Each structure stands twice: as structure tokens, then as C-alpha cells.
Chain A
Amino acid sequence: MKNTSSILTEKVVNSAINSLRKKKRIELLSFAAIAKELDVGIDELSSFYTTTEDIFLKAQKKDWESLHRYWDKQIKKAKTPGDYMRAFEIFFERFVETLSKDSDLRFELSCYLPACVKFRDKNRIKVKEKFTKLIKRGWPGKDEKVIQRQSELVTVLFYGFIDHVVHIPKNERLKILSDFRNMLNLHLQDRKFF
């Protein structure tokens, strides 16, 4: 069950996103307007967030932390190459399933706001490390250099996939996910990769 503060922070994020969708300009967002809309004091908002940028940063962190927790559990459970391949695939499924209805705006802000960009870069390294581990165990027999190159390429493609999937309607996301996973699988099975 959600506690009061997590309900409030969720409302704050939604309010900020809605406002941004209407006004198109982040400089037009204010703590005062959000507090007024949610009928809470500015002090209460300030106890959770330092700036409007902080609202988006914390939301971004929360989404990724939850995704990593889920992914780590799947990786921990894996024993065989098949399990690792499944953990690799499950990550993409979970990512698409848990995208919020405002994922387009959240994505755009994560590429623009400096603190969010910094987090995005850090998280990208973390995601790549996990891809490396999964490729190594799910598609065994590759040498270290190939693993590094393939995990770099998979990471590159995944970030393109994010950009694409957040900008298309929900019902089209699963279709492209299936094609995307097939493309990655074909690439990872490629014995000529050297």
C-alpha cells in the first residue's frame, strides 16, 4: 500500500507533467502553482523537492530503480543460458509494460535537464553492464572483445528503442518490441561477429 508521502509525490509529478504539457515551457512551472493545485503548502513541497528540475529527476530515478530491482531479481534467479536469455528479454518487456502515460515528456526531460542527463548517463553505464553480463551467460562462448562490442551495440539500440517507443501509442509498443527483440536475438546469435 502506498503511504501518504508517496501519494503526494505522485500527485506532484503528475501536476508538473500536466502543466508542462499545457505550457510547453519548464520555466513556467512553479512550486506555488503546483502547491495551489494540490492544495498543499509550499513548505510541504519543499520538504520533498528542492527545485522543479528535482521533481523530474526524482521521478526518473524512481522509475529506473524499480526497473533495476525487478531485473536484478530475474538475473539472480537465472542458472542456465536459457534463463539468462529470458532475463535479457524480460527486461525489455518490463520496460515497455511499465512506461507511464507521460513517458514521452519524461523522456524528453531526461535528455534535456542537466541533472536528469547526468543520471541518464550514469544509468546507461549500469544498463550496459547488465547487458554485458547477460550476453556473456546467455550466449556463452564469445570472447571478451565480442561481448564488449555486442553489449555496446545492444545499449545503443536500446536507447533508440526508448526514444521510439515513448512516442508511439501504447497498442503499437508490443508489436515493435517483438520485432526489436528478434533483431537483437539475430545479432547475438551471429557467429560471424568478430
Chain B
Amino acid sequence: MNVDVQKKVKIIQKSMDSIRKMDKTVHTISFIQLAHEMEMPLNELTDFFLDVEDIFLNEQKRVTRKIEAHLEKGIKNCKTPNDAKDLMESSVLKMVDLLPDYSDLVYSAIFYLPKCLAERDRTKKYYRQKIRIIIKKGWPGKIDSVLDRQANLVLLSLYGFLDYCVKANKRERKEVLKDFNNMINLHLQDRLFF
């Protein structure tokens, strides 16, 4: 990681800690207030970010970039159905593992900040596309309409799981993760699905 990126990540972490301490709704926090709370010169913040929304957007993208890289590499290396099944499980695990301590804060803000909301929509479409590819490779023989419907169900399940994980502790996440993977497997093996 180069020095600038390291600094950027540190500022994001510090900002999240400060925003939590301020106990205010994100849209009521100004950049000046945040710099004051962080005991940091304003220009140090503005060197990296445009505004509070930009901090959240960067954090959101930082996490999704890693998941996207994992998915792209995984799909490229998928040779057998089992590789695809493993990729499905490892991607869910990756998503959970990448959640930072302040993920509840980021998750909540994403629903309000327009750029974050747009990024959320983009990511959702991207995940749907990749989930469809993984299902096709991992559970071969399904027709297109089944692939579409099952991709939607896996996608919505995944977002429900993330919604749970951002507020759950690590132990709780792991417990549900096992059941979640089993349920997805069971659903994708369902031969009666038509």
C-alpha cells in the first residue's frame, strides 16, 4: 500500500470513530465539524476527500473493489462445478470478513447519500451478474429463466445476510454463515425448481 492510500485509509477510520462519537445523523455533519472532532487541519481532510459523502463513498468502494477482484479472479479460474461452488462460499465469507468494525455506520449512511446509493445499485447489478455466472458453472443444466430467478433469490439472500452481519458480532456472523451457505446450497440443488 503506498503512503497516500495508507493515509487515506487512516483518515477514513478516524472519521468513522469521530462520526460515531459525535452521535449525529450524517447529513448534519459538516467537514469543518468533522475536522475539529478529529483534531486535524481541514486541509488535510480536503486533500483526500471532497466532503463527508466522499469519505463514505471511498470506504464503500474500498470494500467492494476487493470483493470484485476476488470474484473476477475466481470466475476466471473456475474449471469445475466444485470450483464454482467453492467460489460461491468463499465470496460470501470474503464479504463478511471484509466488514470493518464501523460497517453499521457505513451501511446506514449508504441508504441516504446519493452517490453511495448509486454505487450500491451498481454493485447489486454487478453481484447479480456474477452470481448468475457462478450458479451456471456450479450447478450446470439449468435453463436461463431458472438461472435468472435463482440469481435473484441468492442476491436478495446475500443482502439480507449483509444487513444482519453489519450489526452482529463476529461469532454470530460465523454461526449464521454456516446455515446460510447450507441453505443456498440446498436451494440451488432443488431439482423441483421450475
Contact = CB atoms under 8 A, between A and B. Distances in A.
B131 to A, nearest CB: 13
Contacts of A155: 164
A160 B176 contact: no
A27 B111 contact: no
Contacts of B107: 111
16 contacts: A24-B114, A111-B111, A114-B25, A152-B176, A156-B160, A156-B161, A156-B180, A160-B156, A160-B161, A161-B160, A164-B152, A176-B149, A176-B153, A179-B149, A180-B153, A187-B187
Interface residues of A, number: 37
B40 interface: no
A160 B158 contact: yes
Most B Cβ at <10 Å: residue of A158, A163, A180: A163
Contacts of A180: 153, 156
A112 B152 contact: no
A117 B108 contact: yes
Contacts of B193: 179, 182
B28 interface: yes
Nearest to A178: B149
Contacts of B159: 160, 163-164
Interface string A141-179: 000000001101101111111011100000000011001
B76 interface: no
Interface in A20-77: 24-27, 53
Contacts of B164: 155-156, 159
How big is the B interface, by class?
20 to 34
Interface of A: 24-27, 53, 108-109, 111-114, 117, 121, 149-150, 152-153, 155-161, 163-165, 175-176, 179-180, 182-183, 186-187, 190, 193
B155 interface: yes
A153 B167 CA distance: 15
Nearest to B172: A152
A163 B163 contact: yes
B156 A108 contact: no
Given A114-B25, A179-B152, A187 B183 contact: yes
A160 B157 contact: yes
